[in-house]
């Protein structure tokens, strides 16, 4: 009986281990596939000609994606500038000021934003944000500003959720000691709680950046998809993800390889962001 029970436990453990490693297997397969499709073009054309090239005309032998790299970083930074303060303020209110009933209602409602399809955000951006920018600020409306606003709203659930957990993980004794020293509630939050949760908050910002840089559909709808480096927040642009989604359906030969090379660059960017985020989370846990 004991031997049978032990064997059953071992079988269950092995099954769960396989389930855990299956996710790593899928990631490994995707990574190898993208590298296999994209790296040959780097060898033929040259890393510098692709990464630092300004002209994207794959049917004519030009595979420069530098304007799209710059555009991707610009909209990601814009999304962070718009969404991070709002998300941090919301997380701070939930963790420090909201009552139990308010938390029960507000936190799931905010997390529900993550379940809304990106095409809905893009549609709302086209209907409301783009005309508003065009009428009051000028330009075509399809711009860095419109894209940053849409992405800033889309990254709210990620930043709010992780920042809230980081704030809640700060020991209550920190708050009590600060209040005992005569500090007000806001002074306690500003001088004690936020610095103590800094690593987790920074990790939430970085993960929000990863969410923004990898977004596709909403960006296609509001960015304008211009193949140039934008010089103003009102200029249209094209990101790495947009480029892949717009052209992969009809690409062939070196054109297709160029899109996979774009995917390699995008994958490396997102992996770096996730690595940095994990580093900050581990620092918070260690601290």
Please give the average per-residue pLDDT across 222-251, as a whole number: 88
Residue 64 contacts residue 54 (beta carbons within 8 Å): yes
Q: Cβ contacts of residue 269 below 8 Å, gap of 6+?
A: 72, 213, 240
The DSSP 8-state label assigned to residue 62 in this structure reads: E
Per-residue pLDDT, 2: 47
When the pLDDT of each residue in the chain is averaged and rounded to a whole number, the result is: 86
Per-residue pLDDT, 59: 83
- Return the bridge partners of 56, or none: 63
Q: Cβ contacts of residue 42 below 8 Å, gap of 6+?
A: 50, 261, 264
Residue 257 contacts residue 21 (beta carbons within 8 Å): no
Query: Could you tell me which of 265, 257, 270 has the C-alpha nearest to residue 36?
Result: 257
Q: What percent of the chain has pLDDT over 70?
A: 95
Domain at 56-286, CATH class: mainly alpha
Per-residue pLDDT, 160: 92
Per-residue pLDDT, 127: 93
Residue written as token pair 């957990």: 165
Q: What is the pLDDT of residues 198-219, one digit of tens each?
A: 888 988 898 888 888 888 889 9
pTM: 0.84
- Give Cα separations from 89 to 23, 81, 148 (angstroms): 34, 13, 19
What's the burial of 237, exposed, middle or buried (CB within 10 Å: 0-12/13-18/19+)? buried
Residue 5 reports pLDDT greater than 70? no
Please give the average per-residue pLDDT across 154-158, as a whole number: 91
E-assigned strand segments in the chain: 56-57, 62-63
Ranges of each domain in the chain: 56-286
Per-residue pLDDT, 128: 93
Residue 284 contacts residue 206 (beta carbons within 8 Å): no
Per-residue pLDDT, 280: 67
Please give the average per-residue pLDDT across 224-252, as a whole number: 88
Where does the pLDDT of residue 79 fall: very low under 50, low under 70, confident under 90, or very high at 90 and above?
A: very high
What does the block give as tokens for 4?
């049978």
Q: What is the pLDDT of residues 94-143, one digit of tens each?
A: 988 888 888 888 888 887 888 888 899 999 999 999 999 999 888 888 99
CA 98, chain centre distance (Å) = 27
Residue 240 contacts residue 72 (beta carbons within 8 Å): yes
The 3-state DSSP class for residue 56 equals strand
Per-residue pLDDT, 281: 64
Residue 69 contacts residue 265 (beta carbons within 8 Å): yes
């Amino acid at each position: 009986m004991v031997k049978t029970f032990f064997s059953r436990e071992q079988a269950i453990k092995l099954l769960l281990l396989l389930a855990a490693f299956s996710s790593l297997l899928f990631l490994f397969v995707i990574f190898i596939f993208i590298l296999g499709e994209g790296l040959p073009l780097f060898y033929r054309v040259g890393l510098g000609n692709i990464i630092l090239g300004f002209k994207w005309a794959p049917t004519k032998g030009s595979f420069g994606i530098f304007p799209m790299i710059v555009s991707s970083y610009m909209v990601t930074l814009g999304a962070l500038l718009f969404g991070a303060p709002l998300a941090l303020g919301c997380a701070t209110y939930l963790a420090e000021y909201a009552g139990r009933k308010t938390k029960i209602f507000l936190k799931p409602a905010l997390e529900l934003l993550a379940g809304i399809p990106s095409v809905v955000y893009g549609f709302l951006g086209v209907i409301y944000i783009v005309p508003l920018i065009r009428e009051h600020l000028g330009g075509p409306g399809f711009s860095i500003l419109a894209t940053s606003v849409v992405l800033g709203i889309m990254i709210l659930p990620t930043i709010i959720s992780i920042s809230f957990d980081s704030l809640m993980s700060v020991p209550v004794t920190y708050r009590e000691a600060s209040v005992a020293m005569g500090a007000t509630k806001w002074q306690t939050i500003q001088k004690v709680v936020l610095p103590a949760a800094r690593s987790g908050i920074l990790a939430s910002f970085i993960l929000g950046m990863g969410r923004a840089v990898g977004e596709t559909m909403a960006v296609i709808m509001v960015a304008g998809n211009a193949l140039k480096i934008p010089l103003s927040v009102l200029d249209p642009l094209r990101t790495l993800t947009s480029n892949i989604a717009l052209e992969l359906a009809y690409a062939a030969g070196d054109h297709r390889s160029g899109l996979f090379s774009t995917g390699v660059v995008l994958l490396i960017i997102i992996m770096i962001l996730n690595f940095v985020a994990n580093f900050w989370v581990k620092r918070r846990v260690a601290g």
